[in-house]
Structure formats: structure tokens, C-alpha cells
Structure 1
């Protein structure tokens, strides 16, 4: 009864299989159904990670089922224009059915903190996330190797994943003393690590998935007022400008990444500008209040 008393129903990821029931309830109660399609199972399994070829029976079945499910909601939302284009072209969804709702970050959780004040401190460069080809952690380690003689830099690798052992093996084989590995931790502790860092690292693979999405860590860095170095990808260009509020390097290019880290690390005015303008952009466009305004606008239009 409580469900039928509302006007709008939102199904979030991963809720594709919940859509039929939600659709029935909305039809019974005269409600409008919204669905978050920022992550596509077909895209993740068969385009981005190539679990199987796109022409296999399994891939075709997943694509067909996802396409049928996406026709049930009244409105679909995704986090970038690139992902919107993918949904339209891949599943034949009418463009007017979709709207872009940037991911953003919870500004009550991800907050700036005063910088560290220790004298002669090293510049701390932090990566957090999964150790997988999708995030390009192996490119980071190649860059760390190139920067091993930069005695004022220290790298923190925070996370886990099936490539962790190979990354640690790479560290030991090359006798890299400027990097340490830390396992996953609860979100409050993660935020503290971000606040302690001087530079944050994004993602560095050229995977098709990142041709369409903006990773969470991008908004987390901006919300915590930290300069971010990440690979230049189309969805990032929708929102960000090189050397103004983010620092780009070439994807899957350890030399370009190392050069970018060196440039940002050794240019304190640049680090300060990236942090401040990135934070100002986040406050203007990506807080829960700002994304909420976009959502309310779409609700009023339906």
C-alpha cells in the first residue's frame, strides 16, 4: 500500500531484473517509473570486459533481454552523454526517453581537509580502486618505476583485485621503494587517506567502458579538493578542462602518466589551481543539491 501511495518509483543499479515487478506496480498505482541505466550489463560483460564475443548466443540474449527491460520505464537516466548515445544506438531506445544525471559525490562524506604541514614531507600520490585491467593499475606501476629516482614522491596503492599479486611482484622485481600497498578499508577511512594525499590518480586504460562513464573517484577527488591526474577520455571532456580543473595524460601510456605526475608534483601553484577550480566546479555542478535540481526538472517534465 505504501508503494502504491507514491507518485514516482526509482529503480537503481543493479535493478534490471526488478523492472518487471516495478512496472506492474506502477501500472496498478498510476505511477511513473524511473531507472538508472548508468551501468549496462551487456556493455560490462561483452563490450568492456569481453567475457565472450558479442556475436555469441549468450551476448545476443543478454542484449535482447536488456533492451526489452529498458522499454519498461517511463524515463531512463545515465551519467554521461556518451552512455546515453550508447543506450540509444545499442538498444534502440528513443533519445527523448533518456536524460543525463551526473554521478557526483556525497559532499557530506567526501569533504576537504587542511593540508598536511610537516616540514620536508614527501608528495603523496594516491590510487584507490580495483586492481584490474579496467582501471589500469599496471600502467601506474610502470609510471612508478619511471619515477623511482624522484625521492620527493611516495605512492600509495589502496585497494584489491585479482592483479594485486602481479603488481606486488612487479614492485619487488624492480625493487621499487617508493610505493606501498594498502588493502580496502571502510569509506570513512578511505576519505581520510584521500585527505592526506597531495595528488590523486584516476583510471588509465582505454577500455570501451571508460569511453562512456566518469569513474566515482573523479568526483571524490574534486569533492575533497585534491588535484587529479587521469587518462583523457571522451566523457571527462564533457565536464572538465585540462590544466584548469583536472590534469590529463594519454591512456595506457606509462611515460605520459609519469610526465603528468612529475609536472603536477613539482608545480605547487598548478596543484593549488587544480584543487581549487576542481572543487569549485564540483560545488557548482555535482553536489547532491545540484544533481537533485536536474532530477526534479525531469520529474516536473514527465
Structure 2
């Protein structure tokens, strides 16, 4: 099978790289037809100012004529794959793939409407921007012949939001670049040092960072160092919380290079996932959960249908707590601290780590694709 990965997909996102590499590692031929318009943009919601937004839109629109020209001169192929963020890409490529009688699959990965309106609450549901965004995404979903998300729970959420048929949206995990996040475990005793709890990620409502701050406050009498790495929509709010009631043992770094994250994970005794209370938070498994599992470190995260999809395969070192509950988080950190401080380093998540690398993700995609091979271009639609 020959697949064309087409569009302005963001290669800075592990999701895109893992899907691309996993497809190739499963013996499928992949041709890339790509324009890089997202270089240097880590959080798309934080693009501020009318000129920045207009500049990005101009780069996006100017990339399409060349991409279309290149696509029309590609050799025969069996599928066009649009990856994240493909909201505009899938609308643009639809008619040109139709002309070549090639179906289009869209890795939605993140619903723009669900993220902006429900999770980050940047506009009310009745705001014209919200309605326009919903309509645009509704149209894009129907422009693709098949769509998929990152978890089954997230796929069901998308079907509900945009009135798709049950089972119409597939699921392929995000996975992890294991070559970057593996940690060689030893049987040496733990070094004598204060317990270190690590959170890293964008400061967005999905992560529930305020609950981490409150949990740290509940355990302020303990010898625990809390490390926060990140910034984003919630930066001002978290800064105000810490200014009002400082936490001397909480250390905040607004940025760490992707390649340096493994060092932070290696130094940590316990790593934190997400604790937000939104519908989206219940339906996703973020990059860092897979990364922490690959690095074989104890993980505390919110209980959700999505995380249980992953954990049903084996019992790794993941502690689940109710969403939005600082007291439960503090109690679990204390419980895990007692275990960490009394044991030697040992293998953690080892069985599960083998199921979330690039080849495994590519195999998931291939299995989904094979199951959907009967979809064809209907020139009467």
C-alpha cells in the first residue's frame, strides 16, 4: 500500500512523528508532501495579536498552491492521510484526491471546537466564533472518507459532538518515542535526597495545575520538592496563586527543551499526569503519560475512561485518583513517597512500554486501515 502524508502537519508534535515513523516501520510506503508552517509555535492558542494571526494565516494559505501542485504530480497511490492540525488541510485536499479517485483519512487527534470552547472556555458555546468553528469542523469531518482520534473515548466524544454515526471514528494511540524516553533501570538503592515530584506540560485547564499547587500546599510540611515545567493559558493564574501563598519547595521552570525532559524525568521520584475536570480531560491520554511509562517512572494521574483503555492491558505503576481533587493527590503522593523511599529502583511499566512505541502505533493504524479498506470514493456524493 502506498500512502501520501499530505498538508501542513506539525512535525514538532510527537503524535505526527510517531504516526509517520510507525507507518514506515510496518512496511507501508509513505510519501510526504509537506509544507512546514508551524515551526516554533508550541501552543497554537497562545498566538497573540492580529498581525501574528494574520501572518500565520497568510503562511498557511500561501502553502496550498505549491502543495496542490506537488500532489497532482505524485505517482499513483492508495490513500491520502491528513495529520494534525488538518482542519483546513482536509478541506483543501478533498476535491483533488477525489479527482484522482483516492480516499482521504484524517487523523483529527484534537478537536479544535472541543479544545477552544469546552476545555479552554475561550468563547461561550453560543458565541459566533464557537458556532463558526463547530460548522467548519463539522464540514471537515465529512470531507474525509474516514477519521480517527487517539482513544476510543475521544472518538466517541467526537461522534457525539458532531453527530457522526456510532463507530464512524477510529482510534490510534499517541504512543512514545521510546528511543528518547527509555531509562536503563538499575538495582542500586535510591540516592539520599528529598522526594522530587515532577509535572511538565502546557499550562492549560486540561492539566488542572491549580490542583497540583493545592496538593503541594497540603504537603508543605513534608520534605518534598515540587517541579513545574511549562507555561500557557493558565500561567497568570498559577503565578497569582503562588504570589498570594508562596511555596518555597515549588520550583517553576517555564521551558525545557524536548531532549532535556528525559533528564528531568530521570531525576524525579514521582511524575504527574493530568487532573482537569473537563470532558476532554476524561477522553485523552497526553504525550507525557506515554513518555513517563516508557521512562519507567511511577505516575499519578486522574482516573478516566481513556486511561483505563491503556491500563487494561497490564498493571503498570500508575496510580489513579479522582479528577480535580487536591486532597486525593496529596494523599497519593504521600502514599507513593513511602513506597519510593523504602525500595530499590526497579522495572516499572516494562510490559506496557513495549506496546506504545512507534512500530506498535503503526500496527494500530494499519489494523484500523485494513478494517476500513472497503471505503471508496463515491463520485456521486
2:328 is the counterpart of 1:256: yes
Cα 1:52–1:172 change in 2 (3 A) is closer
2:137 is the counterpart of 1:66: yes
Cα 1:237–1:270 change in 2 (3 A) is farther
Q: Is the 8 A contact 2:297 2:348 kept in 1?
A: no
Corresponding residue of 2:235:
164
Which of 78, 88, 111 is matched with 2:182 structurally? 111
2:104 is the counterpart of 1:40: no
Higher relative contact order (CA 8 A, sep 6+): 2
Which of 209, 214, 222 is matched with 1:150 structurally? 222
SS at match of 2:179: coil
Number of equivalenced pairs: 299
| Cα distance, 1:90 vs structure 2 | 2.0
User: Equivalents in 2 of 1:87, 1:165: separation in Å?
Assistant: 31
Structure 1 length as normaliser, TM-score?
A: 0.89
| Cα distance, 1:117 vs structure 2 | 6.2
2:144 is the counterpart of 1:81: no
2:94 is the counterpart of 1:23: yes
Corresponding residue of 2:60:
none
2:293 is the counterpart of 1:222: yes
* Higher mean C-alpha deviation, range 107-116 or range 254-263: 107-116
Cα 1:163–1:85 change in 2 (3 A) is closer
| Cα distance, 1:157 vs structure 2 | 0.8
Cα 1:6–1:271 change in 2 (3 A) is farther
Cα 1:167–1:292 change in 2 (3 A) is same
SS at match of 1:126: strand
Which of 211, 218, 234 is matched with 2:282 structurally? 211
Q: Deviations over 1:218-240 (max 9, x none)?
A: 11110111110111122112222
Which of 358, 371, 379 is matched with 1:288 structurally? 358
Q: Deviations over 1:241-268 (max 9, x none)?
A: 6974310122111111000111111113
Counterpart mapping for 1:169-208 below 5 A: 169-171=240-242, 173-208=244-279
User: Equivalents in 1 of 2:328, 2:205: separation in Å?
Assistant: 18
Counterpart mapping for 1:4-23 below 5 A: 4-23=75-94
2:206 is the counterpart of 1:120: no
Q: Is the 8 A contact 1:200 1:228 kept in 2?
A: yes
User: Equivalents in 2 of 1:158, 1:225: separation in Å?
Assistant: 19
RMSD of aligned Cα (Å): 2.5
SS at match of 1:237: helix
SS at match of 2:228: strand
* Unmatched 5+ stretches in structure 1: none
Structure 2 length as normaliser, TM-score?
A: 0.72
Q: Is the 8 A contact 1:249 1:257 kept in 2?
A: yes
User: Equivalents in 1 of 2:125, 2:370: separation in Å?
Assistant: 38
User: Equivalents in 1 of 2:343, 2:238: separation in Å?
Assistant: 28
User: Equivalents in 1 of 2:179, 2:258: separation in Å?
Assistant: 12
Corresponding residue of 2:338:
266
Q: Is the 8 A contact 1:227 1:271 kept in 2?
A: no
User: Equivalents in 2 of 1:159, 1:240: separation in Å?
Assistant: 26
Cα 1:75–1:272 change in 2 (3 A) is farther
Q: Deviations over 1:44-99 (max 9, x none)?
A: 12222222232333323322221121112222111111111122222122334321
SS at match of 1:19: helix
SS at match of 2:81: strand
Q: Is the 8 A contact 1:264 1:270 kept in 2?
A: no
SS at match of 1:95: coil
